[in-house]
Amino acid sequence: MVETPKVAVLFGFGINCDRETAAVFELAGATSERVHVNHFVNGDRDLSEFHILAVPGGFSFGDHLGSGRLLGNRMRFAMREQLSAFVAAGKPIIGICNGFQVLVKTGLLPGKEVPDFEQRASLTLNNSGRYEDRWVTLEFDPESPCIWTKGITRIECPVRHGEGRFVMPSTVDLDSLDSNNQIVTRYVDPSTEPGNGITDETLPFPICPNGSIRNIAGICDPTGLVFGLMPHPEAAYATFLHPHHTRNEVSEEILAEGMQIFRNAVEYAQANL
C-alpha cells in the first residue's frame, strides 16, 4: 500500500501542460515530478520508480506529421519495455489532449489487455478546420471500467485543440469499443439532464467541438487503467477558472470538479499499489 503515490509527468519536445498537470496531482495528494522524456529514453530513469504516468497536453514536435505522432514514435520504439511493464504492474496512465493523441499513436489506446503497440484509431483535424479554445460539457459512461472516472457523471472543462476528431476505420471497431464500455466520455448538450446526455448522433458545433464520431471525447483501454481524453480537466481544477465564476457566489472552497479525475487515480494507487 502506497500512502503518497509518485506521479511522473512527462515533459520536453513541446509538451506544455506539464506544470499544471504536476500541480493538480499534488493537490490531489500525490507527489509529482516533471521528468524529461529523454531520461526514460536514455535509461537514466525508469518508469518503475513511479506509480502513475501522465502524458500532458502540448504540441510535441509541433504536431507536424500529425498530432502526437513523433513523440508517440519515440515512446513506441524507445520506451516499449518500460511501458509494457508499467501496464503489466497495473499502474494508471493518463494522456490529456496531445497526451491522448500520443497514446493513440503509440497504440496504447484503445489498446489490448497486453499492449501490442499497434495504432487502431486516430485523432485528426477538427471539422471546423480550426484550433479552438472553448469550454465543453462532458458526460461519463457509468459502466466504464476506467479507474480515472469513477463516480463522475458530468463535468465542464475546456478543449484546446485543432486535431480532436476521433476516428476508427469501421463502425465494427466503434461498436466493440462501445460494448466494452471503453468510450469513457463524450461531449453532451448542457441543456440535457445530467446522466441523459450521451448520444451516438454527432452533435452540432460547438457542443461537439470537433465533429468527433459518436461525440467521443475520451476512451480507455480494456483494463480501464489507461485513459486518454481531448478536453483538459486539469484546467478546471479551481472554481475561479470556470468562465461563469463571476455569475456565481464567491466560494470558500477553491478546488473544483476537474480535480475528481486526478483524485480517483491517486486513491486507486493508494488502495491497489
Partner 1 sequence: MRDVRGDSVKRQLAADHSINIDSVRSIVGFLIDSEITSEEVSTRVDDVFADPIIEESATDSLHLDNPTLFSESPDITITIGFKAGVTDNPGKAALDGFRTIFPEAGEDARVSTYITYVFQGVPEEVDADWLSKQLHNGLIERALYSTKGDKSPEIEYIPVAAIDYTPPATIDLEISDEDLIKLSEEGLLALNLEEMQTIQAHYRDSEVRSSRAAVGLPENAPTDVELECLAQTWSEHCKHKIFAAHIHHVDTETGEDTEIDSLFKTHIMNPTLEMKDEVDWLLSVFHDNSGVIAWDDEWSICMKAETHNSPSALDPYGGAMTGIVGVNRDILGTGLGARPIANTDVFCFGPPDWEGDLPDNLFHPSRVLRGVHAGVRVGGNESGIPTVNGAIVFDDRYIGKPLVYCGTIGMMPRRLADGRESHEKNPQPGDRVYMVGGRVGYDGIHGATFSSLELTEESPSSAVQIGDPITQKKMVDMILEARDAGLITCITDNGAGGLSSSIGEMAEYTNGCKIDLGKVPLKQSGLSSWEILVSESQERMTVAVRESDVPAFEKLADLHEVEATWVADFTNTGQFHVVHDDDTVASLPIEFLHDGVPQLRLESEWVKPVNTLFTPPSVSSHTPLLMRMLSRPNIASKETWVRQYDHEVIAQTALKPFVGVERDGPGDAGLLAPIHGSTKGLVVSNGISPRYSDIDAGAMAAAAVDEAVRNAVCTGVDLSKVAGLDNFCWPDPIESKKTPDGRFKLAQLVRANRELERICRAYFVPCISGKDSMKNDYGSGENKISIPPTLLFSLFGDHPDVRYTTTSDLKPGESLYLVGESKQELGASEISFMLKESGEADGIGGEVPQLPNPEKNLGAYKALTKAIQSGIVRTAHDCSEGGVAVAIAEMCIGGRCGAAIDVDGPGDADLWGRLWGESLGRIMVGVKQNNRAEFLSMMKGHSLTYMGETIDSDSLSIWDGDDLVIEAPVEQMVSAWKGSLDMTGGEQ
Active-site annotation, residues: 97, 232, 234
Residue 33, interface with partner 1 (CB under 8 A)? no
Q: What binding mask, one character per residue, do residues 210-239 give for partner 1 by CB under 8 A, x or -?
A: -x--------------------x-xx-xxx
In the window 159-188, what residues touch partner 1 (CB under 8 A)? 160, 167-169
Residue 273 identity: L
The 3-class secondary structure across the chain, one letter per residue, is CCCCCEEEEEECCCECCHHHHHHHHHHCCCEEEEEEHHHHHHCCCCHHHCCEEEECCECHHHHCCCCCHHHHHHHHHHCHHHHHHHHHCCCCEEEECHHHHHHHHHCCCCCCCCCCCCCCCEEECCCCCCCEEEEEEEEECCCCCCCCCCCCCEEEEEEEECCCEEECCCHHHHHHHHHCCCCCEEECCCCCCCCCCCCCCCCCCCCCCCCCHHHEEEEECCCCCEEEECCCHHHHCEHHHCCCHHHCCCCCCCECCCHHHHHHHHHHHHHHC
Residues 6+ positions from 145 with CB-CB distance below 8 Å: 180, 181, 182, 220, 222, 223, 224
Q: Which is nearer to partner 1, 174 or 225 (CB)?
A: 174
Which of the ranges 86-94, 140-148, 192-200, 204-212 carries the binding residues for partner 1, by CB under 8 A? 204-212
Q: Which of 5, 58, 99, 228 touches partner 1 (CB under 8 A)?
A: 58
If the CB atoms of residues 198 and 235 are measured against partner 1, the closer one turns out to be 235
Among 29, 66, 190, 222, binds partner 1 (CB under 8 A): 66
| Closer CB to partner 1, 3 or 244, in the complex | 244
Using the contact rule CB under 8 A, the part of the chain among 32-40, 140-148, 185-193, 220-228 near partner 1 is: 32-40
Question: Is residue 112 close enough to count as binding partner 1 by CB under 8 A?
Answer: no
- Give yes or no for residue 65 binding partner 1 (CB under 8 A): yes
Q: According to the binding rule CB under 8 A, does residue 148 interact with partner 1?
A: no
| 122 in contact with partner 1 (CB under 8 A) | yes
- Tell whether residue 20 is a contact of partner 1 (CB under 8 A): yes
Among 50, 51, 52, 74, binds partner 1 (CB under 8 A): 74
CB of 1 to partner 1, least distance (A): 26
Sole binder of partner 1 in the list 16, 84, 181, 272 (CB under 8 A):
16
